[in-house]
A and B are shown apart, each in its own frame.
Chain A
């Protein structure tokens, strides 16, 4: 498959760049005007990338736990009265710009990685929660009825039938959150979070396009790879997907 080969190549180039960025200096030099350094060296790019990923991973993991838990809760029979509210809050919440959430988190947590983590966590809740709701409420009625008819307890139905069937949809929500978080995290550097945004902002401040491009391309490539990884996982876990047939 062409797509897979291209992704593999992208991953390899990214790894090479992060491990030995100075090798790529000739490539980026034309973008750095007036003899400015073509490669960002104030902090190790690999270190920033790992920080960036760790921040995103922590936020998305926390969002996933909370959002999936809430999603399961409000779809239980006794909690139906909360469901319309949950839907409204989700759709309204998604109109909040992530940058605004980030800016509003600053007074609560001060500068640094804290507000970024909080903003990414809050913003990440919504897609995951929405997809958990969609996944759990969109199951074919015949399947849930059959599970009931066979005498499964509510907990057994949840673990053995509902969650496995909703998993691909939930994962799609996690993917969306992760990709948004990856991009939004760069803005975190405007409030002093350690992310690859630091490279881009340094480029903006010193009019060094080489920095802007290397920061942007690293984040973009990471987003592509993570996106592709999730899609692959979703396909494997989908009912009737490759893992089922083999």
Chain B
């Protein structure tokens, strides 16, 4: 668990982060979103002390991070950034092994861990272990960057626009992979993004920042249905609200007993996908794999504030 208490960062007379407090529960994902210059990256970098706070403190599992030498603190915290930041002169395996080596793991353990991570990210070790970063595609580089961040099994992972350099198709699958792996490992994750869709797709909670202030820190549904300030509302974009709302719930949450014609929809598909399928095929109801139906009527209700299925 991380607790951020009244963090402030000033550069001269410019305040970049102003009295921000928030808590991220163990195994949760907090997505910090905002325009560039909103202070979200500075806030992230104060967690692993790449930026020294002017005031306030950060507690990780109850320990004040200021009491630990900065480089030792960082070895316990995973860190992945936009454009991956891989070391161009080191192979994939050497890159991933960076922190374990700093921690003095023995060679066999490092090798096993590297292979385990490469498997986890669907990069066959035999093929990828000895490649150099420039021999990888953008998506592969990004996966190696995240593997490196996770190498020493950190409880906390910080990511700064990790998917910023990827094209939309790869980006969606990278987000899905991250979500899967994060759930599997139970890592606490703080991710910075300027993309509200990404924040919605990943965040258990979303923190909206503007001009150094944390405007709202709440679950995605609350951000959508109850934006704290006009800026938050504008950032979400009023025209996309129903679709964002639908994408937060699964078909299984809305299924009712009954039968319907046509090809079925998967229970873990999002409501947004189900609506798209209804509209495209002109059907008023879709059968759900494994029984039940989801109706257009129910989808319509779910797309309005207060009408959706219960909060998870």
Touching in the complex, A and B, CB below 8 A? Answer: no
Chain B positions within 8 Å of A, measured between CB atoms, are: none
